[in-house]
């Protein structure tokens, strides 16, 4: 019993505390390495996979919107060309109408001049 009584202060004292501390540190290290690190890796991998999918969807959406923007530019160009042609046609029609009105106006003036001339002649004759 003397050996147990001699070892008792060391087993219950600071030496035991150091041994318990070493045991706890090893247990925590083992827990972190065996369970927490693989779990954290799985979470990060899953997160990266989701980010890659989101990035692919974003790139598809951007490509789709860019194609729509290109189509809208083409439509604008077609409409601008069509309106330019219509504008030119309207200007040509207005110019033609102006010329036609001028010609008709001259004919009307000649006819009225002839009528007035005959009217004067008829007035003088009576």
Dist. CA 63–CA 11, nearest whole Å? 73
Q: What is the pLDDT of residues 8-37, one digit of tens each?
A: 676 777 777 888 899 999 999 999 999 999
Token pair for 63: 């490509």
Torsion (CA) 35, 37, 43, 44 in degrees, nearest 10: -170
Identify the residue with better confidence: 85 or 120: 85
Give CA–CA dist 100/87, Å, rounded.
Answer: 20
Please give the Cα distance from 33 to 27 (Å, whole number). 10
CA end-to-end distance (rounded Å), the chain: 174
Q: What is the pLDDT of residues 39-61, one digit of tens each?
A: 999 999 999 999 999 999 999 99
Band of the pLDDT at 105, cuts 50, 70, 90? Answer: confident
């Amino acid at each position: 019993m003397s050996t147990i009584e001699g070892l008792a202060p060391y087993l219950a004292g600071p030496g035991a505390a150091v041994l318990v501390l070493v045991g706890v540190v090893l247990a925590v290290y083992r827990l972190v390495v065996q369970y927490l690190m693989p779990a954290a890796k799985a979470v990060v991998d899953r997160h990266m996979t989701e980010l890659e999918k989101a990035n692919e969807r974003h790139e598809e959406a951007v490509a789709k919107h860019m194609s729509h923007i290109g189509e809208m530019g083409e439509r604008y160009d077609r409409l601008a060309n069509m309106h330019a042609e219509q504008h030119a046609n309207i200007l040509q029609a207005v110019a033609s109408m102006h010329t036609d009105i001028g010609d008709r106006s001259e004919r009307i003036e000649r006819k009225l001049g002839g009528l007035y001339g005959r009217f004067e002649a008829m007035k003088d004759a009576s």
